[in-house]
Structure 1
């Protein structure tokens, strides 16, 4: 009862091994993917943390440097530090301490700041006045002044970082010196996370700061390679010992910030996932074993099932297997015959799909060759043309369904052109029908034959369907995969019927010179302005009349379809913009995308005039009629809105008038009447308010604020500011920040 046949084991073992392999592969893939994802996210967090440390430290460093620089730039600095200092000058001492207190307030908490006069041999050191010895003075000058091209020095000093700045910073004569000593604990507070191993190196590769008492595991070669990568914008490196470092190079002072990544943290994060995958793998392997057992058992007993289904008597095992094989083969043969019949019935649809794919360039050359062999097309030593035809009138004007017309036209093409000289005709889109024609390379005057075919097609369609057609024919091509380009050329040819009228047969070779000519679009500006004026005044009949004249003039003066399309698109854009300014219903503009497409492909003046009038012009006029008075009253509010949203751009009343389609003088009078001041004064006062706010709330310099407020010369801004507020921007910032 429990004995299994050899067939059972031959099925069970492969099924089981395959299932186990898939399960293990899947689990390994999931683990690898998860680990990589977690590692990537973890490293991203480290990079963000490194950049945060960089920005925090750099902000404090720049603040300290700025404090000393700003003080050295004051008018009283030179007088103070080139004059001897006596212990009785308490007021002078208080002034210097006040400046140092300002630097301390902006700088790093817990730091010590000193100011030294190299010229007069005195200094405010550790809060006290001290006279320098000649030895101390010579040491300072030799180390930081004489022969030095730089004025700023950062160096490690035991458990602190020391900054030395020779002053004034922007003068070659150095008669003073400022120092700042930043203790390690202050940097610890900025770095924050003590569990992260963080190191900071200055531009001279000196270790300025490390939050842990241990030596770096990087060799000198690895450190140099890390600096080179940091200069090239890279942010991570793995050392030879397997450790990973995330780093960032400051653009401001070329300091290198480095954080060591603890790989053990990633393992801790992924540990639960690994345990879950192991448990899942074991469960899946058990499931695979059960499924493999059931499959092997079912496939090893096929005859029993056949007997149950067909009520056949039991036969020996070998005969059962042969019977199953015979039945299976017979079933496959029957299915193949059915499939062949289905393919035969569906071949026209498959051919149509093939031609559509050619026109859309969705097939590789190998796929094209396979399809050509499948459908029996002979393309060797052939020259091809693509022909696109389109009705000269809308289907709606004929009072019939478009699908019926397109299918009827497609059938006429199939009947008028021999099958040996064409691919299957197809309906290209809602308006066009396309056919690929194929002629032998030795064919004489193939274009004459094409013209004859399509004249007969036009005649047949006109007699039977009572519509007229135009045809566009591409340039000849020798490779069938070029059909995408050919159908575009055929469409381009078809657009030129605007110049030759309905029932045209246009070859691309005849109009290629026109396509290549760079012709400027001719735009009837006077008629256009009259149209916009009629829309503003709400005169529908007058606007329709101007639209008729405008469209007629455009088609009369522009012969290139591209020029016509560009000109019509400009009209649509201006009407849309004007309608929006006049408060037209936005639903009108949500439906105009087909209008843009028709404008770029316009060939009938009457058709595009009707569409523009009925779908855009009249709806805009009727929608804005009731809102006209309210719109006029809100002109001043619109100007104020533009000022409040674009005050940091180049802005003038002429620009606003052009955007709102109003005369600048008219807008000026309306605005002054509404707000009691001119537009220019309002704009300058609003920018002044913004400047006051930015001076208090931001760290932007006066020059940056002036540039944002469109002052080309910051001195003009300072003069205007002082004229209005009786103080400079710098004084205003100091007053309101304290």
Structure 2
């Protein structure tokens, strides 16, 4: 008998063995590299955090010191107050201030003062006109723009003959805008300080300013640095891999750290030869083992072949019987497998839509990373255009979705959603492009829009979306609002575009429905928490006192929200802040007030999650507040001496300047027991008599200090304090600083 089967088995096993061995090689090196990468990543994260902390602490300390000198140093103030021949002594004192700054902070390379009154610059002990100073252009730029924290990197020299140095600069206005204090930190000194934290042979550290320029490369983006010393740093950074990145919350600078790949490769190759010899030995042992196993497994096959040859020598009837039974079994098995395959095929066709949707979400939300080959294979599998050029993400949100659910049956809802996505695809085809849209939730339709590489792609996108809204308004009885992300050229940009589109829809509450909201057109929110708190406090106090002016404060609060152009989340935060104030204020009131608050707003809170526009939220809140005001009015009218306490409160507001005003004085005036009067203040007004009186006096004192030049002693007597020490102590307790310090700060 020939050894045909033996050779077949041998040739069948060997490829599998080599494939498995190759995979093991790959897995080993992958694990080895990944382990090294993780360790390097941890070290680089720590290094990046330390560099960022060092930069923040150093620059913030310098900034704070400069600002403190501007605000507190009388010599510096005196320098900016004089001009011309009067500034000799002032200049000497200014030199002392500058020298003290340099001594205290060695990172400071130079400091010069700019005085607007005579347009001079004081640097290195000399005064010169601004136009003769080498840094005149920078001074003019700083004078015409708002203050910045740190500017860099830039070239600076104090004298025309001096060699320019690379510095970063802090510019601060001095003496109420009468001049500038400019402090320069030399980048070379800063870099040497940072290089003490790491070994440049193995690690690199790059720092980028807000504009994306490297501080070590003259503040320019790295692709513009082509020669000179900076070329070496550029090459080092380009040959290395960025392992960690931190952005400073103070300066906004970005710190990147990583390893130089040359060292990693050299380290890995040291073990390659040893591992290769060991792996070759394993391969030889494996080949011998496969030959042995093949020979061993060949014996049962040989026995089966011999048995078949023995059976084939029997009578034909017996042979036919045996073959018939075997083929029937094989035939039955194959039919069952074919039926199962057909069933699996049908299930695959049914699940293809779901798989496409899952792939869409993974692609946009970044829950899975795709290689280039995997991405192309999936795009081809679902018959989608290749992601080769430029795209933008659209998020279409149905307006008034609760009304939509109430008006249409579930089947009709599914049909109308299909119509919405079909209209979008039709609008895209009309503009000569393509769009991939999927419903990721009941209310949101996500879409990827392919954009051609032309100058008019943005106009085409605007036409497409406008046409889409027009068609919806023409054919359907509801509207949608569209959030649009920026144009992307890779998967990371695509996912960022999705976040921008979702963020743009956050402003639908203020900007309105049935519109297109590009992320580039989203206005900057001016979330003035102090003004909100002030209005909320007035609203709560007015509601607590059943003062009808509470509706004016309520309308003012929502007007402030609308003018500040807040996102939905910021609006909800403001409303939660309002409710927190109510909870705190009502916690101090009698039990019946607490029960009234709970009975009205407990059922209202779930409804506040479903509002869509600011007007919806306003109506919901206004409804609850009106009911609360009505019930509180009923409660307060029934309480004894309510009219008395309001009358007394009004009397305090009109006569708080009376130095004899006290609790006993009021009890004699209104014929009420002092202890009971004190309790009425606490129950009805929520604060003690003394606190109310001091509050009115201190507020009036602050107003007089802001609007008049009266002496503080005179102001204290005018607001009802005959003893200045008492006024000083009360002012400090309320405001947090002495009256004289408050006037200076103002």
Same fold by TM-score, threshold 0.5 exceeded? no
Under a length normalisation based on structure 2, what TM-score does the superposition of the two structures give?
Answer: 0.36
Pick the structure with greater CA Rg.
Answer: 1
